[in-house]
Amino acid sequence: MESIKKIPPDTIYNELENVLKFNSFKNSILLSNFLRYIVTETIDQRQKFIKEYSIAVNALSRPSHFNPHDDAMVRIHAGRLRKLLNEYYSSDGKDNSVIIHVPKGGYVPEFIHNNKMRHIDFPINTSKSNLVITVFPFKSTSQRPDLEAFSQILSEEVSAELSRFQDISVIGHFASSVISKINENILEAASLVGADFIITGHIQIIDNKMQIRVNLVNSSSGKFILTKLFTPATIDDGIRIQNEIVKDIVSSMGGYYGIIFKEMVKTAPSKISNNSGILKAICSYHEYQCSYSIENYANALSNLNDAVELDPNHAIAWAMLGEMQLAAIALGIDNCKKTIEKSSHCITKALKIDPNCQQAWYSLALLSCFKKDQDNCLSAAEQCIKINPNSSGIISGIGCMLIFAGYFEKGFNLVENAIRINTSHPWWINIGYCYYYIHKKEYQKSLYWADNMDFNETIWDSLLKAVSLSLLNEDAKAKIQLNNLLKLQPQTPTEIKEIFCSFMFSDEVVFRMVNSLKRIGLKEDI
């Protein structure tokens, strides 16, 4: 790094002001504050104080109780900051004599003479399979500085949180030509930046009441996919309101269970078929997760096997493949002792490719269930949540795994909170709910979730209905479900306890479930 003494502080301050005049920085209060803070601290020889916590509190308006171990927001904004600096020095600032650079892995900036910049490698977005979302600046219809600032920060936070999803590429900063086009025609502006979907919104005051409107638009058709209206009484507690709105928006829109992915599958099948197998595999995985059938399971497994051959460095595909192999055990399809070993290989490979792959940590939590490793299940679950707490489908699955692992209340609360925000979730969450309510001895609620499953090609449909009805002493109905189960899978009597025990930790609950089936006529020794 060039010594600050070799580049006078006044020169660095001048360069900072040059950077902050760049249109993308002028449209980003948070990133401007971030850059100004770390540059000023470094010039004043306080580099050792530039930590995630100090940046969060002093530059990003986070509260004093901010915990960087639980919130990756500083790292996310740092990535966005590096991208904007790269954009600036590739355009308006390419001939500047001094360059401000923030190396990966830290937050202390370097001040470098322009002719010595050749060795620096800037990140390049190489993901061709990702959906591209553009978050256009939210507008304030009232000429109030506090509302205008709130609007700008809100759009930035939506961009930052959406960028946590590995399947989404987010564009949240724009050249002046794009800004001009946004004001004329948002569909043409989206076309300029290559966006598949647009998120936009506004804040207005009506009858002394604040309204915040957020819209999701399909950029190819102009169709409104989703619109949400928020009516907080005041923005005095701006950070809390902002966080609530962002969580609501991002949880309902992002991820494989969000409305953006669903809309893409429905309206852009060519994007799937033209994508060298990866997106096709991910879509078939999602179809299995949403609606169980033997055909859906087989298609997902086959497509994921093809995907990792086509792209052996795709972490998400490896993680999904590892999860699907474990699912075969729980579904009674595969009882091979080597299946867990095969799954472990896939998940380990995914984490080696990308240690921050949320899907890989998700699959590792499930693998720990099958290995009966309670501590590692919790550890993997916590890491998974930390990477993206707004990925509602993933979080509901993690909650279910923790229920199976014996963390009943922690897991149940995660599932409940995730489903309250976004009702879309993996079909097998119903199994977790049933298991939880059997543990609680609330058998009517267990039956409710068993009835909600309604996937008659899986043993779990009739199995959980039979168990719940037997525990409610509704023997006639329970026996009908047991007969349906035995017709579907005659070998069930010899395998059912083994299936239960493969991933359910509570011996007491498993014993109660098995005995409930014996009581209604399951005669073989299980």
Q: Are 278 and 305 in contact (CB under 8 A)?
A: no
Written as six digits, the tokens of 256 are 């494989």
Measuring CA to CA, which residue among 217, 315, 208, 317 is closest to residue 260?
217
Least confident of 59-68, 373-382, 398-407: 59-68
Average pLDDT over residues 17-28: 85
* Confidence at residue 240, expressed as pLDDT on a 0 to 100 scale: 81
Give me the pLDDT at residue 331, please. Answer: 87
Q: What's the chain's length in residues?
A: 526
Mean pLDDT confidence for 487-505: 82
Spatial contact of 155 and 71, defined as CB atoms under 8 Å apart? no
| Residue among 505, 501, 433, 473 nearest 514 (CA) | 501
Q: Round to whole Å and give the CA distance between 518 and 526.
A: 9
Rounded to an integer, the average pLDDT of 275-296 is 86
Mean pLDDT value across residues 360-388: 96
- The percentage of the chain sitting over the pLDDT mark of 70, rounded to a whole number, equals 92
Q: Buried (b) or exposed (e) across 300-323, using 16+ Cβ within 10 A? A: bbebbebbbeebeebbbbbbbbbb
Confidence of residue 525 (pLDDT cuts 50, 70, 90): low
Reduce the secondary structure of 224-247 to three states and give it as a string: EEEEEEECCCCCCCHHHHHHHHHH
> Quick one: pLDDT at residue 121?
45
Residue range 158-173: average pLDDT?
Answer: 85
Which range of 281-285, 289-293, 463-467 scores highest in mean pLDDT? It is: 463-467
3-state DSSP helix/strand/coil % of the chain, to nearest 5? 60, 10, 30
**In whole angstroms, what is the distance from residue 228 CA to residue 113 CA?**
48
Q: Computed over its alpha carbons, how large is the radius of gyration of the chain? A: 26
Summarize the confidence of residues 8-19 as an average pLDDT: 89
Which pLDDT value is given to residue 313?
Answer: 92
Q: How confident is the model at residue 507 (pLDDT cuts 50, 70, 90)?
A: very high
| Residue 2: pLDDT band with limits 50, 70, 90 | very low
Quote the tokens at residue 384. 């998974």
Give Cβ neighbours of residue 333 (< 8 Å, ≥ 6 apart): 297
Binned at pLDDT 50, 70 and 90, residue 265 comes out as confident
Q: What's the mean pLDDT in 9-16?
A: 89
Residue 119 is predicted with a pLDDT of 44
Q: Which token pair is 145?
A: 């500085």
Residue 133 pLDDT > 50: yes
Can you tell me the distance from the alpha carbon of 60 to that of 54, in angstroms, rounded to the nearest whole number? 9
Name the residue among 42, 34, 97, 100 with its Cα closest to residue 62: 34
> Cα–Cα distance between 303 and 516 in angstroms, integer?
39
* Structure-token pair, residue 152: 């700008």
Determine the Cα–Cα distance for residues 451 and 9; give it in Å rounded to an integer. 69
| 360 vs 318: CA distance, rounded Å | 8
Banded model confidence at residue 492, pLDDT cuts 50, 70, 90: low
Q: What average pLDDT does the segment 274-282 reach?
A: 74
Q: Residue 56's CB: how many other CB atoms inside 10 A?
A: 21
Stretch 471-482: mean pLDDT, rounded? Answer: 95
- CA dihedral 466→467→468→470, nearest 10 degrees, is 80
Task: Choose between 401 and 167: higher pLDDT.
Answer: 401
pLDDT at 128: 47
Q: Which of 441, 483, 446, 488 is nearest to 465 (CA)?
A: 446
Digit-coded pLDDT (tens) for 74-125: 888 888 888 889 888 888 888 888 899 998 878 999 888 876 444 444 443 4
- Ramachandran class of 135: left when φ > 0, alpha when ψ lies in -120 to 50, beta otherwise: beta
Give me the residues paired with residue 198 across strands.
134, 217
How many C-alpha atoms does 499 have within 13 Å on its Cβ side? 24
Whole-angstrom Cα distance, residue 221 to residue 315? 32
pLDDT at 271: 56
Average pLDDT over the chain, rounded to an integer? 86
DSSP state of 291: S
Region 267-285: mean pLDDT is 71
**Spatial separation of the C-alpha atoms in residues 60 and 35, rounded to whole Å:** 11
CA-CA distances (angstroms) from residue 297 to 244, 351, 401, 416?
36, 24, 20, 26
Question: What pLDDT score does 371 carry?
Answer: 94
DSSP string of 18-53, one letter each residue = HHHTSHHHHT-HHHHHHHHHHHHHHHTT-GGG--HH
What are residue 270's phi and psi, to 5 degrees?
-65, -30
- pLDDT at position 275, please? 52
Specify the pLDDT at position 126.
37
pLDDT at residue 28, rounded to an integer: 81
pLDDT computed for residue 517 by the predictor = 93
Query: What is the arithmetic mean of pLDDT over 156-165?
Result: 88
> Quick one: CA dihedral 183, 184, 185, 189, positive or negative?
negative
Q: How does strand 224-230 pair with strand 168-171?
A: unpaired
From CA 48, how far away is CA 39, in angstroms rounded? 13
> CA 297, 299, 301: angle at the middle one, nearest 5?
70
Per-residue pLDDT reduced to its tens digit, 411-461: 999 999 999 988 888 999 999 999 999 999 999 999 999 999 888 888 899
